[in-house]
Amino acid sequence: MNDIRNIVILTGAGISAESGLKTFRADDGLWEDHPVEEVATPAGFARDPDLVQRFYDERRAQVMAANPNAAHLALGRLDSEWRPERQRGNLLIVTQNIDDLHERGGARRVLHMHGEALSAWCTTCDARHPWRATLRNGPPCPDCGMASLRPDIVWFGEMPYQMERIYRALAEADLFVSIGTSGAVYPAAGFVQEAARAGARTLELNLEESLGSRFFDETRLGKASDLVPALVEELLAQA
Ligand code: BV8
């Protein structure tokens, strides 16, 4: 783990599992209650907006009731110490998660590629607003007043956010770490191959083998709350 400068970390639902937030593909997974095409697609939203708004109201409430766990806190510590002005390199945490537990764990350089539960997006004026209340029954957009607010979430078939910035960070990475993701969804599942193409070392921390394990130089199996603090110690111990 020597001469590492630029780090990109990809996180998935597994890093928030120990905070009590359901993952997607466990048997008690999120999609079990609602077929994914009903709630996480534009067509599903057009077909039954109130069902989708209820589903994301539920997720918003669960996020607000959850707390960061040791893995989020360890990445928060890494974010404050891994900086060029401290003779380290750059760090970017790209999360597929829509919770704010990375931020509440102290991380600042966080990119939510699939959007955020605590944000509302107006499809009339394109404004985005911090949002903790319900989105049901058409609350007016604070900017344009129209009843056209939807969850600020990237659904299947929609383009994830800030892809250019992500690919630039992957091209410059010396280390790519994937934490708590099944590698089931693209383009996130392809990031490990982008990083490897750029010559980065690739490391996977996950509870079990994932669909992408074969692409990683190393896979460490275990809980994020154990593996992530140990990795941060290892990184900060390097000269
Ligand atoms: C795109 C937000 C292109 C929603 C999510 C047909 C039609 C349309 C698209 C496609 C298609 N076929 C393929 C596609 C592409 C599609 C895709 O990949 N589909 C899959 C199903 C095949 N992708 C897209 O549509 C993406 N957009 O391609 O756009 C485009 C191009 C041009 C112009 C326009 C568009 C957008 C995908 C984003 C969907 N939104 N989330 C919400 O949250 O409600 S996806 C959602 O599932 C997550 O965000 C994440 O990305 C994904 C995977 O979930 P994970 O986070 O990995 O969670 P999972 O439960 O799967 O795994 C958890 C892991 O943690 C497990 O491995 C477990 O072992 C581990 N774990 C558990 N506990 C712990 C642990 N690890 C450590 N410690 C623990 N304690």
pLDDT tens digits, residue range 117-144? 999 999 999 999 999 999 999 999 999 9
State yes or no: is 114 an active-site residue.
yes
At 1 the pLDDT is: 76
pLDDT tens digits, residue range 47-84? 999 999 999 999 999 999 999 999 999 999 999 999 99
Rounded to an integer, the average pLDDT of 109-116 is 98
Question: How far is the C-alpha of 175 from the C-alpha of 167, rounded, in Å?
Answer: 14
Rounded to an integer, the average pLDDT of 15-19 is 98
Q: Ligand 1: does its nearest atom lie under 6 Å from the Cβ of 178?
A: no
Q: How far is the CA of 106 from the centre of ligand 1 (A)?
A: 25
Using the atom order of ligand 1, give the atom closest to the CA of residue 39. 44
- Owner of token pair 């000269």: 239
Best residue among 16, 24, 97, 100 to mutate for probing ligand 1's pocket (most ligand atoms within 8 Å of CB) is 24
Specify the DSSP element, H or E, that contains 10. strand 7-11
Residue 67: exposed, middle, or buried by beta-carbon count in 10 A (0-12, 13-18, 19+)? exposed
- Owner of token pair 């911090």: 130
User: Given pLDDT bands bounded at 50, 70 and 90, which one contains residue 109?
Assistant: very high
At 32 the pLDDT is: 62
Q: How far is the CA of 185 from the centre of ligand 1 (A)?
A: 4
pLDDT tens digits, residue range 167-226? 999 999 999 999 999 999 999 999 999 999 999 999 999 999 999 999 999 999 999 999
| 177 in Cβ contact with 218 (< 8 Å) | no
Which residues line the annotated binding site? Answer: 12-31, 56, 59, 96-99, 122, 125, 141, 144, 180-182, 206-208, 224
Specify the DSSP element, H or E, that contains 39. helix 36-39
CA dist 152 → 27, 148, 181 (Å): 26, 12, 21
| 213 in Cβ contact with 184 (< 8 Å) | no
| 66 in Cβ contact with 19 (< 8 Å) | yes
User: Given pLDDT bands bounded at 50, 70 and 90, which one contains residue 6?
Assistant: very high
